[in-house]
Amino acid sequence: MTDFDYLVDRYMDYLLIEKGLSTNTLESYGSDIARYIDFLKDNKIASIEEADTPAILKHLIDLRNNEVSGRSRARHLVTLRGFYRFLVSEKIIKRDPAKMIDLPKSGLKLPITLSYDDIQLMLQAPDEKKPRGMRDAAMLEILYAAGLRASELINIKLLNVNLEAGFVRVFGKGSKERVVPIGSYARDKVREYVDTARPLLLRTIKSEYLFVARAGKPMTRQGFWKLVKQYAKKAGLATRITPHSFRHSFASHLLEGGADLRSVQTMLGHVDISTTQIYTHVARDYLIETHKKFHPRS
């Protein structure tokens, strides 16, 4: 197990002796790294090798939640980039987890997330007395429950949903397949929609898609984006909300609730996972328990 303090001391010596940085700059770098190390320890990350890209992103989110300015968060990222480049150059670690995180010229811009109260307002916005409203309510619930992309949501087929087991199978970027748990709220809304509203929307038409629009075809991404915008306005939310806001909120709420980074990464599909790998490399029951324990609408 690598000692954090030893690594920080080595890096600070490098900055002082080889880079010749000023005392003020060294204090700034040291403060940023110390805060990051404290974050790793608080999150039970025992060595620098265990700290991956999601860990750095969660640290940046924590800084934002603690009202650290965008400029200061950008400085934190610059500091961590330098620290990790040093660790790679010294062959202490093999890969640089900070390399994949972009730093916009205007400063660090993190995804906009909604509070749980705002999410509730959005989920309650559709008029469920009407078939389309019932469909929209189910779409929003499963979007938040599984952290899906809009394209994944609209292309879900009826056979991809297992309401008894509480899973939805989706196909992400590059047609990569993954299985994501959904909680009881989403299951109930989808079951109600399938039993009641979907037959009314289809009438005599047959469709393989779960959420149907005209002539049994799936909704377009633009059409769903307009629906989200419409319900955000109805809910009285001023923030510019898109379908992706639900995905960001899904991840943030799980992480803030204490979910481990690897499970969230798996559920988001940021790691290439096939159906077989779901059952051989990731404990399905563990994912279910993680989702049930940490998702606010499980």
Same structural domain for residues 75 and 121?
no
157 SS3 class:
strand
Residue 298's pLDDT is what? 72
Same structural domain for residues 84 and 184?
no
CATH code for the domain of 148: 1.10.443.10
- The residue from 41, 99, 173, 176 that is catalytic is 173
DSSP for residue 94: S
| Strands 177-181 vs 161-162: parallel, antiparallel or unpaired | unpaired
Residue 266's pLDDT is what? 76
Give this prediction's pTM. Answer: 0.60
- The residue from 59, 64, 135, 247 that is catalytic is 247
Same structural domain for residues 85 and 144?
no
Residue 23's pLDDT is what? 80
d(C-alpha 19, C-alpha 83), whole Å: 13
Same structural domain for residues 79 and 149?
no
d(C-alpha 189, C-alpha 257), whole Å: 24
Residues belonging to the chain: 298
Q: Is residue 247 annotated as part of the catalytic site, yes or no?
A: yes
Q: What does residue 209 show for φ and ψ, rounded to 5 degrees?
A: -85, 145
Is 243 within the bounds of a domain?
A: yes
Same structural domain for residues 77 and 123?
no
Residue keyed to tokens 């019932």 = 134
Q: Is residue 286 annotated as part of the catalytic site, yes or no?
A: no
C-beta pairs of 9-17 under 8 Å, 24+ apart in sequence = 10/86, 10/90, 11/83, 11/86, 11/87, 14/86
Q: Is residue 214 annotated as part of the catalytic site, yes or no?
A: no
Is 70 within the bounds of a domain?
A: yes
DSSP for residue 175: G
Is 109 within the bounds of a domain?
A: no
Is 22 within the bounds of a domain?
A: yes
From 54, 74, 89, give the residue that closes a domain. 89
Residue 110's pLDDT is what? 52
CATH code for the domain of 9: 1.10.150
Same structural domain for residues 153 and 200?
yes
Residue 67's pLDDT is what? 82
Give the pair of three-digit tokens for residue 13: 């010596």
Is 95 within the bounds of a domain?
A: no
d(C-alpha 244, C-alpha 120), whole Å: 16
From 72, 89, 106, give the residue that closes a domain. 89
Same structural domain for residues 172 and 285?
yes
Q: Is residue 279 annotated as part of the catalytic site, yes or no?
A: yes
d(C-alpha 38, C-alpha 49), whole Å: 15
Give the pair of three-digit tokens for residue 105: 């010229």
> Which pLDDT tens digits describe the chain residue by residue (298 residues)?
358 888 999 999 988 888 777 788 888 889 999 999 999 999 888 888 888 888 888 888 888 888 888 778 888 888 998 999 999 999 998 888 888 777 644 444 555 678 889 999 999 999 999 999 999 999 999 999 998 989 999 999 999 999 999 999 998 766 678 889 998 999 999 999 999 999 999 999 999 999 999 888 999 989 999 999 999 999 998 767 889 889 888 877 877 777 776 777 777 776 533 222 322 233 344 456 667 777 788 7
Q: Between vectors from CA 119 to CA 117 and to CA 122, what angle results, nearest 5°? A: 115
* Full residue range of the structural domain in which residue 38 is found: 4-89
- The residue from 59, 149, 187, 253 that is catalytic is 149
Half-sphere exposure of 15 (CA within 13 A, CB side): 23
- The residue from 10, 132, 229, 270 that is catalytic is 270
- The residue from 233, 279, 284, 293 that is catalytic is 279
From 46, 71, 89, give the residue that closes a domain. 89
Is 104 within the bounds of a domain?
A: no
Sheet holding 161-162, edge to edge: 161-162, 167-171, 177-181
> What is the domain count for the chain?
2
Same structural domain for residues 120 and 59?
no
Residue 123's pLDDT is what? 96
Same structural domain for residues 194 and 254?
yes
Same structural domain for residues 125 and 78?
no
- Tell me which H or E stretch contains 179: strand 177-181
Same structural domain for residues 182 and 61?
no
Same structural domain for residues 159 and 34?
no
Q: Is residue 59 annotated as part of the catalytic site, yes or no?
A: no
Is 278 within the bounds of a domain?
A: yes
Is 106 within the bounds of a domain?
A: no
